[in-house]
Every structure is written in structure tokens, then in C-alpha cells.
């Protein structure tokens, strides 16, 4: 009888442990999916990352998916949610991507960090996704191997063509050097070496110079966002004494949290730099009115984080 009671106790605690593990696994789920697996060169694929978590579980770390999509060209990116549904918080991250080389591509698993009910750090990962890209085959293409074409006859010796190409080579180098110097000069006109001044004063001045440049009229949106994000990165480095110029946006976000910058300000700066990265590295084209809005956000970041002005002491007259 005692033996039977002992066996029931073992079964009870075993079931309790299994139930605890299953409950913990359902706190956060992450799923990756694509709308089509076999495509031709240039076709667009929608890669979706679905994150589902319990309302009481906080996911602090932002999802940085762009390194996973480095072999693709990101055409568009949008976030749906987070929304509450069936007692869960659900967010969807959609990326429209394209590939321009044939072969098999693998989008690696995405790992998400979160804290469970007891405050323990845990991780959950999606499954890797495979995409097969094939060339665009025309009906006129033949299945058999074509004969090798005979070599072309060169009427002149290679010395003749070498001499002929020298002026062209110097012309190309001259054009490249001109554009390089012009670009360097425009950038140096903003990030020039000046005596030590308050970081916010320097940032305002650099933003004003950027606004006076003709980059947007020339259609140089990517160059505009490169300078805009560097102005804010320079400001953060000079304002807080932290190294951010050579850091990723996610690393900058973690660094700001470590030095106890207000969470609201951290999120504003992270989202601003992330959108700048989208334009700089993913060939994203901002929507109408977005460029002016981002310029205003850059000024707002400086306004919110600059040191508070000290009020002058007033001496009362007896």
C-alpha cells in the first residue's frame, strides 16, 4: 500500500513538472514564415516574423532582423501590432525582400530574449527559412550546349589599345577625384573641428547647415540621412561621453540603458537611428513628409536630452 502511494506521488510531481515546462514554453512564441519558397531572380518574397507573448511578459530587447537578411535586398518593412488577441500579445514584422543571384538561400533563426514570471532571462528562437532562387528561362533557350564561338580578330596590337585607354583612365580618375573631394568637403563643412562648445550648440548648428545644403533637391536622400544620423551620434557621444560612432543601433540602445538615460528618450533615439539605418543600408525610400518629420525628431532629441538651464540666483532687497 505504501509502495502504491509512493508511486502516485512520483507520477504527480512528474506531471506537475511537465505542466510547468509547457506553461513556460507558451509564455513567448516566435514563428518565421514566407509567402513562397521557390522564386526567380528579382521576384519579391514577404518574410514574416510573428511574436506572440503573455501580457505579463516583458520583451525589452528590440528585434534587429537586418543582419539576418544581409544576402537580400530589403524593399519594404512594416510592423503590425502589437495587438491583444485570445489573451496573448501578438506582433508581426513583415519584410519584403528580393534576391538577384540564383541558388539556395537560408534566413537564419531569429533569437528573442525575454524574462519569465520569476524574472529569469530566457530565449526563444524561430526556425530557419530556406528560399530557392532560379534564373528566368526563356522559351527560346535551347537545352543543348552551344558551340564555342571563334575568337575575334584584333586588328591592332594591345599596345595601341593601351595607349588609347590612357586618356580615358585619367578622365575617370579625375571625375572620381572631383566627386570624392566635393563629398568630403560637404561633409567636413558640417563636422569641422571647432573649439570645445556645448554639444547641443554644436548639434543645432550642424542641423542648420544640413538644412541649407541642396542634398534633397539633388535627390541624394541616402547621403542626407547619413549626415543626419551622424549629427545625432556625434551629439550623443559628446553629451554623454560614450562611444557610439562605431556601434550598431542596437548597441547604442543597450549603452544608453546602461547609463540610465530616460527610457522614453532611449526609445525615441533607437527608433530614429533604426529608421536612418533603413534608408542608409536597405535602400528604403521615405514616404512624403517623412524627411521633414525626421529632421524635427533630430532637433527634439537634442531638446529633450540637453542639460537643463540653471536659473540665475535672485537677491532680495531688504
Mean pLDDT by 10 residues, the chain (318 residues): 55 46 62 86 84 74 67 79 77 83 84 75 83 72 56 62 77 76 60 71 93 88 93 92 88 88 91 92 88 94 84 44
CA distance 85 to 91: 10
Cis previous bond, 82, omega within 30: yes
Query: What are the DSSP E strand ranges found in 24-72?
Result: 28-34, 38-40, 44-53
What is the reported pLDDT for 291?
A: 92
| Beta-bridge mates of residue 88 | 85
CA distance 54 to 27: 5
What is the reported pLDDT for 317?
A: 39
Whether 234 and 191 have beta carbons less than 8 Å apart is answered as: yes
What is the reported pLDDT for 273?
A: 94
What is the reported pLDDT for 297?
A: 95
Strands 121-125 and 111-115: antiparallel
Amino acid at each position: 500500500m505504501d509502495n502504491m502511494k509512493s508511486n502516485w506521488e512520483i507520477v504527480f510531481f512528474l506531471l506537475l513538472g511537465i505542466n510547468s515546462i509547457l506553461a513556460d514554453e507558451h509564455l513567448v512564441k516566435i514563428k518565421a514564415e514566407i509567402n513562397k519558397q521557390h522564386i526567380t531572380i528579382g521576384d519579391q518574397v514577404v518574410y514574416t516574423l510573428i511574436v506572440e507573448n503573455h501580457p505579463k511578459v516583458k520583451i525589452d530587447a528590440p528585434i534587429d532582423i537586418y543582419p539576418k537578411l544581409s544576402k537580400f535586398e530589403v524593399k519594404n518593412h512594416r510592423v503590425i501590432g502589437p495587438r491583444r488577441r485570445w489573451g496573448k500579445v501578438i506582433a508581426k514584422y513583415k519584410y519584403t525582400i528580393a534576391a538577384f543571384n540564383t541558388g539556395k538561400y537560408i534566413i537564419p533563426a531569429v533569437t528573442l530574449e525575454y524574462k519569465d514570471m520569476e524574472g529569469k532571462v530566457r530565449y526563444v528562437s524561430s526556425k530557419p527559412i530556406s528560399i530557392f532562387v532560379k534564373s528566368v528561362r526563356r522559351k527560346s533557350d535551347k537545352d543543348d550546349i552551344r558551340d564555342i564561338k571563334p575568337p575575334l580578330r584584333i586588328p591592332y596590337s594591345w599596345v595601341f589599345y593601351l595607349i588609347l585607354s590612357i586618356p580615358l583612365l585619367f578622365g575617370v580618375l579625375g571625375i572620381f577625384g572631383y566627386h570624392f573631394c566635393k563629398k568630403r568637403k560637404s561633409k567636413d563643412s558640417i563636422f569641422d573641428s571647432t573649439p570645445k562648445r556645448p554639444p547641443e550648440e554644436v548639434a543645432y548648428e550642424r542641423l542648420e547647415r544640413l538644412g541649407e545644403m541642396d542634398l534633397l533637391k539633388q535627390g541624394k536622400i541616402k547621403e542626407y540621412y547619413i549626415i543626419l544620423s551622424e549629427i545625432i551620434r556625434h551629439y550623443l557621444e559628446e553629451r554623454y561621453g560614450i562611444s557610439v560612432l562605431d556601434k550598431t543601433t542596437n548597441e547604442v540602445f543597450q549603452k544608453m540603458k546602461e547609463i540610465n538615460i530616460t527610457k522614453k528618450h532611449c526609445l525615441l533615439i533607437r527608433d530614429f537611428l533604426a529608421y536612418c539605418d533603413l534608408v542608409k543600408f536597405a535602400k528604403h525610400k521615405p514616404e512624403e513628409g517623412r524627411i521633414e518629420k525626421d529632421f524635427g525628431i533630430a532637433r527634439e532629441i537634442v531638446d529633450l536630452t540637453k542639460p537643463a538651464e540653471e536659473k540665475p540666483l535672485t537677491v532680495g532687497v531688504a
